[in-house]
Chains A and B, each alone.
Chain A
Amino acid sequence: MSSDGLSRRRFFGLAGAGTAGVLAAGAAGGVIGRATAEEPATAAVAATDAVPFSGAHQAGIVTPAQDRLHFVAFDVITDDRAELVEMLQAWTAAARRMTAGQDAGEVGAVDGGQYDVPDDTGEALGLPASGLTLTVGFGPTLFSTADGVDRFGLAARRPEPLTELPGFPGDAIDPAISGGDLCVQACANDPQVAVHAVRNLVRLGAGVVSVRWSQLGFGRTSSTSSAQATPRNLFGFKDGTDNLKAEAPKALDQFVWVADGDPGADWLAGGSYVVTRRIRMRIEPWDTSTLAEQEATIGRTKKAGAPLGQRGEFDPVDFTTQVDGEFAVPQTSHVFLAHPTNSGTAILRRGYSFVDGSDGLGRLDAGLFFIAYQRDPGTGFVQVQKNLRMDAMNEYIQHTSSAVFACPPGVTGDDDWWGRALFS
């Protein structure tokens, strides 16, 4: 926008020069600043290892973000609560096996009789667990349909924050790839392992659920652990530098996990809400913009990922720094507007790059499949997104899908299943 004349050299030269202090760090920013630095990184595990399926929280949220995604949303097509419960139990059993690197069914892909239909589809034979996590969520329409029908006797148990997201300026939401009664987020370090998991869950759901939409992602765009290097998104910028991370449990408790006393805590405590947005990037206009324009749009340098006006990626973002009488981090930049300091909140981002081929006009149909976890969508994603109305990045993106789901806590024992507390 107004930053065309800036150059990276001038940033370096004048870094830290301006300290007008017009922007005092907000209370939320202060908390996050402390919280995100409180614990050392956990030990890295091999990309082929299994991630434990059971636990207080579902895996796939603060688990160090794997490289690959297959996200799928379902419509429930039965009105029979018992069938739905039976499927969730079958899903849990299959998820427990697959995340351990085993076949989906007890028999397996090739160990049954010649005339049996295999209970696993087989494309993951010989592949390691690959860090597979399967994370389930329940959409608002599971509790009551858009027409207000309470199909499963769950309407009274819908937590108030679980409601369709409001519209935002510039949205181009396609209902066909939005919403859903259920979702499963499959993440793995091998795309075939993630696709295999979704494919087998879809099979188990025949007659109970129907795939509403699904999205493949091929590269993580966030770090959810300080043990991970920050990846680049399709804009070519490091993404997720200041994300909420596994090593900051106090911040996670404040911003990610539903706590006792929160709405729906009787079944959702220890869980979280996931918001997904398919954000198409206008790749070609972006690629023909100057480096200065790109950096001013993001608010970070492209090479190091440093906040403008700073040197290193993890240098603190200082919104008071001025260059030539202007803020080093432009007030319309994405970092400025989205940062906890100015949005007053924090979310755990876990998005993936996608390329869904081309759009028929020769342009990449590509972007970022945004995934964020938070304790309450209203004070999480919605609050952040409302603050992005003047985001310079809006010129280069368009949100084409939207969904929100409540993700229950983790399963705790071998007999536990996804949603047990909700359906009990």
Chain B
Amino acid sequence: MSKPARKRLSVVGLTGLTALTLAACGGGDPSSAGSDGAADAIAVAATDDACDVASSDLEAGVHQFTVTNTGSKVTEFYVYADGDRVMGEVENIAPGVARELRVELPAGDYETACKPGMVGDGIRTALTVTGEAATLDQDATLAQAGTDYQRYVQSQTGALVEQTTAFVDAVKAGDIAGAKALFPVARTYWERIEPVAESFGDLDPVIDGREGDQAEGEDFTGFHRIEKALWETGDVSDMGPYADQLLTDVQEIATRSNDVQLSPLQLANGAKGLLDEIATGKITGEEDRYSHTDLWDFAANLEGSEAAVQALRPYLEEADPELVGEIDDRFAATEAELEQHRAGDGWQSYDQLTDDQLRGLSDSITALTESVSQVASVVAGK
């Protein structure tokens, strides 16, 4: 198992809030942003106990970090703004591999972090960025949110296809243990962007439908069909066609999702919708009824919700800073509640949780949902 669901918001390769300045400079895809002033690559030497960043002072603008993992554990690299707001992240950096992260940083104080083993707060280093901070008016800030979130979705669909491919390969090879380990990993990327994926009403049921939800004459397919075979019978010899179809459908939804740009209101509703997913499907153990890997999905939904809120954050910080503070506190409280159930690189099995523990998780989600539900009103331009 190489990819745990993580505590923090994932904004893979996303320039985050600061893509704003790109727009101000006339837009442009950050992957070809050399002309926008991308600085030279900044080397990051990551090991199991060190995270050496070549520069601790930068000019405001787009920067590229090249993270080389010479340790023995899979690692991640983050750039955090105040309050551990993720400005950029690259994940799943295997030992011996180098990965790149492009991120635009306005003037301010940041921290970089490597996370060997992909858990905990990571190895932190201060990073100071000087220069002029770009400012946008509120409308432009809001308009940028959809673009930022689209980049997040793209980063997730890439990983979704990658991990689903690995899962499908394991199923077809009859590698039960390997497939079981990859099942919650592949689903993590699905669950993070579920509101977007669910907007494709024809594909969601065949990818993520649960047994018994099919219309008469429809076959039970997708992740949960294979989950049932893996955990109930341990026999996946007849799962080949389902595995192939799953990958085809996931590739299709990834392609379609990449073109989706959500309005601020859709983002707000999506952030809340992901929390509702937790309350109705994960707290109850209904989602992964055979594997009991529900907490992986819980974590992924939570990260996805936070990502949607983060995309709106520059606007929200202007429009309703008090609400932002409350949302931050409640995301942190929910994450702390969830963190108690971490097991190794992943999460405890749902059926190991006591009623009291479930209630703790439920209470934290209830509170968070009350706060996140207020976002729609704020972005609707009151």
Chain A interface main SS type = loop
Q: Which residues of B lie under 8 Å from residue A207 when comparing CB positions? A: 330, 333, 363-364, 366-368, 370-371
Find B373's partner among A77, A113, A114, A117 (CB 8 Å cutoff).
A117
Q: Which residue of A lies closest to B272 (CB)?
A: A117
Instruction: State the Cβ distance, B303 to closest chain A Cβ, in Å.
Output: 20
Cα–Cα, bound, A113→B381 (Å): 10
Would A203 and B265 be within 8 Å (CB), given that A115-B380, A117-B377 are in contact? no
User: Quick one: CB contact mask for B357-375 with A, threshold 8 Å, 1 for yes?
Assistant: 0011011101111110110
Determine if B370 and A210 form an interchain contact, defined as CB atoms under 8 angstroms apart.
Answer: no
Instruction: State the Cβ distance, B161 to closest chain A Cβ, in Å.
Output: 34
| Interchain pairs with CB closer than 8 A, number | 39
Q: Which residue of A lies closest to B269 (CB)?
A: A115
Residue picked from B362, B367, B379, B380, most chain A C-beta under 10 Å: B367
Determine if B370 and A206 form an interchain contact, defined as CB atoms under 8 angstroms apart.
Answer: yes
Q: Which residues of B lie under 8 Å from residue A206 when comparing CB positions? A: 366-367, 369-370
Instruction: State the Cβ distance, B89 to closest chain A Cβ, in Å.
Output: 28
User: Quick one: CB contact mask for A182-218 with B, threshold 8 Å, 1 for yes?
Assistant: 0000000000000000000001001110100000000
Q: Which residue of A lies closest to B377 (CB)?
A: A116
Find A113's partner among B330, B369, B377 (CB 8 Å cutoff).
B377
Would A115 and B377 be within 8 Å (CB), given that A207-B330, A210-B359 are in contact? yes
Q: Which residue of B lies closest to A208 (CB)?
A: B367
Interface: B129 (CB within 8 A)? no
Instruction: State the Cβ distance, B264 to closest chain A Cβ, in Å.
Output: 10
Interface residues of B in 136-153 (CB under 8 A from A): none
Would A117 and B374 be within 8 Å (CB), given that A77-B363, A206-B367, A210-B359 are in contact? yes
Interface: B376 (CB within 8 A)? yes
Instruction: State the Cβ distance, A169 to closest chain B Cβ, in Å.
Output: 29
Q: Which residue of B lies closest to A116 (CB)?
A: B377
Q: Which residues of A lie under 8 Å from residue B370 when comparing CB positions? A: 203, 206-207
Q: Which residue of B lies closest to A202 (CB)?
A: B366
Q: Which residue of B lies closest to A176 (CB)?
A: B355
Determine if A115 and B330 form an interchain contact, defined as CB atoms under 8 angstroms apart.
Answer: no
Would A114 and B366 be within 8 Å (CB), given that A207-B330, A210-B359 are in contact? no
Determine if B366 and A113 form an interchain contact, defined as CB atoms under 8 angstroms apart.
Answer: no
Q: Which residues of A lie under 8 Å from residue B369 when comparing CB positions? A: 206
Cα–Cα, bound, A272→B108 (Å): 57
Q: Which residue of A lies closest to B329 (CB)?
A: A207
Q: Which residues of B lie under 8 Å from residue A115 when comparing CB positions? A: 265, 376-377, 379-380
User: Quick one: CB contact mask for A95-128 with B, threshold 8 Å, 1 for yes?
Assistant: 0000000000000000011111100000000000
Q: Which residues of A lie under 8 Å from residue B373 when comparing CB positions? A: 117
Determine if A114 and B380 form an interchain contact, defined as CB atoms under 8 angstroms apart.
Answer: yes
Residue picked from A114, A207, A208, most chain B C-beta under 10 Å: A207
Q: Which residue of A lies closest to B374 (CB)?
A: A117
Cα–Cα, bound, A210→B366 (Å): 9
Cα–Cα, bound, A115→B371 (Å): 14
Q: Which residue of A lies closest to B381 (CB)?
A: A115
Cα–Cα, bound, A317→B80 (Å): 78
Instruction: State the Cβ distance, A301 to closest chain B Cβ, in Å.
Output: 46
Instruction: State the Cβ distance, A105 to closest chain B Cβ, in Å.
Output: 13
User: Quick one: CB contact mask for B188-232 with A, threshold 8 Å, 1 for yes?
Assistant: 000000000000000000000000000000000000000000000
Q: Which residue of A lies closest to B370 (CB)?
A: A206
Instruction: State the Cβ distance, A123 to closest chain B Cβ, in Å.
Output: 18
Q: Which residues of A lie under 8 Å from residue B364 when comparing CB positions? A: 207
Q: Which residue of A lies closest to B369 (CB)?
A: A206
Cα–Cα, bound, A206→B376 (Å): 18
Cα–Cα, bound, A112→B362 (Å): 28
Instruction: State the Cβ distance, B60 to closest chain A Cβ, in Å.
Output: 35
The 3 lowest CB-CB distance pairs between A and B, nearest first, are A207-B367, A115-B380, A206-B370
Binding site for B on A (CB under 8 A): 77, 112-117, 203, 206-208, 210
30 residue pairs A–B, Cβ–Cβ below 8 Å: A77-B360, A77-B363, A112-B377, A113-B377, A113-B380, A113-B382, A114-B380, A115-B265, A115-B376, A115-B377, A115-B379, A115-B380, A116-B376, A116-B377, A116-B380, A117-B373, A117-B374, A117-B377, A206-B366, A206-B367, A206-B369, A207-B330, A207-B333, A207-B363, A207-B364, A207-B366, A207-B367, A207-B371, A210-B362, A210-B363
